[in-house]
Amino acid sequence: MPACSKSISVLLLCLMFGQFAAAAPASEETRQLFIAAMERVRQNLPDAPDPPALEGYVIHDYLVAARLRRDLAHRPDESLDNAIDSFLQAHSPQPVARGLRHDWLVSLAERQRWDQFLPRSIDVTDPLLVCDRLQGRLTAGDTQGLGVAALARWMLPLKPMPECNDAFAWLRRQNLATPALAEAKVRAALAADNSRLARAFMADVPAARSAALLQWSDLLEAPKAALTVLATHPALPAEPDALAAGFDKLARTDSAAAAGLLPLLLAGRELTPELTARLRRTVALDAAYDHDIRAASKFDDVAAAGDDTQVEEWRVRAALWSGDYAKALGWIEHMPATLATQPRWRYWRARAVAATVGTEAAVPLYGEIAGLRDYYGYLAADRLRRGYSLNARASPDDLNTQSAMAADSSVIRAHELFACAMTDEAGVEWSAALGGAEPAVKVQAAHLASRWGWYAQSIAMLAQAAEWDDVRLRYPRPYPDVVAMASQLAGVPTDWIWGVMRQESLFRKDAVSRADARGLMQMLPSTAAAVARRWHLTPPGKEGLFEPAQSVPLGAVYLRELLDRHSGQLVLGLAAYNAGSAPVARWRPPATMDADVWMENIPYAETRAYVQHILEHIVAFAWVRNAEPPHLDVLMPAVEPAAPVL
């Protein structure tokens, strides 16, 4: 019998022949027993006896694993080691075993139980465990091939770990950590713009070889001062890569200072043509990022290669910012096909033709993209005074296939984990079952996940299947009562709130970013607390941001504040929601500017895409609720310069 997750037809055969273990959905009572037991584990409270219903629960093993991990953190001993070993053997390579295995290996290494650690750590990739394994092998006298393994870890440009100290000392005693390798290691850190790490590595570099490396580090840490010295003392040597790295760093923080130093560097030093071109490229790009009105002219001295996407795109953006549509058109027409055929540059080609040749000449160019379900397609449709075409098409919704899928043991576990608010663990089980499935199966999985209310997984599966036309499935509207209340409180349309929510968290109420932004609207706890005080709302605390009833209103009123702070402009408010108000204030134009030109010149690629996607979402959400989609030329009035400070 073929594997049961590869195609719709095979899924149905598996169901018919009983290869899926059918299981009735768990009762809500059992789920609550599981949630309560897991909470006792998290709070380090004594375990209560598990009733039969809980012991038979399909995800009971996750509770067992959680208890083992808790005990491992507090009272590891041989009896616990044996229990963990038995659990891992019984559940290898299931997702439930992964976190426990990692924690156990860390604990074994801390207790120097190398007899158990070494045979179980052959395949580790975690940097800490790699160091532990090196230490264990060294302690056990297993030096066969140890030099190769230790060098592979030593050469990585990573912060030194105490667990690796003995192995690295052994490398030096064996004369394997050669000065040449040490220098290469430092250079790798410098090339990664990590001068602090590079300086930590320099202890292994002979003094005679460290001067150039120290200069490179100085250029990264204090680029203006170091470059000024080189510009005024042309006899001082400097490696091209070091000089270029320092110049890049200065240009990112002070483009005017970099532009001022460039003539001195070019006039006083013998620079290679390659380095000269790189410095000019840096000045032009950073002038464009800073919205210098002269940026377009600076690109005249920069030769664009077909694979230099930054120059190809930003010289056009700089020309648009300065209003030089003739120059923009010329550069667009010289773009490589991979760029020129994108809706972005097809739209701007039409805009440039309209500005230089005439509106009628641009009509067919707009027409080529005006039917796209895309930010630039909508802009083109507005230019033609046409309605939007969302090209929506419902995908097949096969309940039989979804029933077969839902009977798979991994999918059952995923469902129950999701129902118990263990979304990350649910995603691992889901991927184990369906990650390698055919696109048609993934579409059915998207329907199934949506029925569960697991919208993030549903949308992700549609993307994996390249199913973009099922607009209704891709744009669910969860928490309608909460969103309606937040809309009334903040005076912000519901579609705008759903648009931000979809872009920020993909409807995951438990989402947490690297910066600790939390919940559906991805607010920092400090920001949420301040907003709550200003609006006399209940302070949410860090955990409260995972509750939609608290996080959605706070996100909505915060968006309201940003809109009010930025002249009511939606695009400015959204940009500030993503990047902060200070950058948006810097990006305001010197004179009134078309919003599409301003948007195209947002220096942060993430923020530019963020705003464009939310505008697309707003259109889609209106369509989903059978309303006439708002036009972008209404949502995007001209951007005004910042009001003068009186």
Interatomic CA distance for residues 82 and 63, integer angstroms: 18
**Residue 117 Cα to chain centre, angstroms:** 34
CB 240 within 8 A of CB 275: yes
In whole angstroms, what is the distance from residue 559 CA to residue 619 CA? 18
115 residue type, one letter: D
* CA distance linking residue 67 with residue 64, whole number of Å: 5
**First CA to last CA across the chain, in angstroms?**
78
Chain-centroid distance of CA 463 in Å reads 16
Both tokens assigned to 562: 């940003």
Specify whether the CB–CB gap between 317 and 294 falls below 8 A: no
- 183 assigned to active site: no
CB under 8 A, 24+ apart: contacts of 95-104: 95/425, 95/428, 95/429, 95/432, 96/61, 96/62, 96/65, 96/425, 97/65, 98/428, 99/65, 99/69, 100/65, 100/68, 100/69, 100/72, 102/126, 102/129, 103/69, 103/72, 103/73, 104/72
Contact 553, 489 (CB under 8 A): yes
3-state SS track over 485-530: HHHHHHCCCHHHHHHHHHHHHCCCCCCECCCCCECCCCECHHHHHH
Helices 8-16, 439-452: crossing angle, 10 deg rounding:
70
Listed in sequence order, the DSSP H helices in 254-374 are: 255-268, 273-289, 295-298, 309-322, 325-333, 337-340, 343-356, 359-369
- What backbone torsions phi and psi does residue 146 show, to the nearest 5 degrees? -65, -35
Given a contact cutoff of 8 angstroms between Cβ atoms, the answer to whether 372 and 589 are in contact is no
Q: List beta partners, residue 593.
A: 639
266 exposed, middle or buried (CB, 10 Å; 0-12, 13-18, 19+)? middle
434: number of Cβ within 10 Å: 25
Residue type, position 188, single letter = A
Amino acid making up residue 426 = A
**Greatest Cα pair distance in the chain:** 83
Catalytic residue among 504, 561, 600, 616: 504
CA distance 309 to 279: 17
Closest CA to 334 of 362, 306, 369: 306
531, exposed or middle or buried, with CB in 10 Å at 0-12, 13-18, 19+?
buried
CA 58 to CA 55: how far, in whole Å? 8
Give the CA angle between residues 160, 163, 167 to the nearest 5°. 90
The residues that bridge with 518 in the sheet, in sequence order, are 512, 523
In the numeric block, which tokens belong to residue 408? 């798979």
Euclidean distance between CA atoms 186 and 563, whole angstroms: 47
Catalytic residues, by residue number, are 504
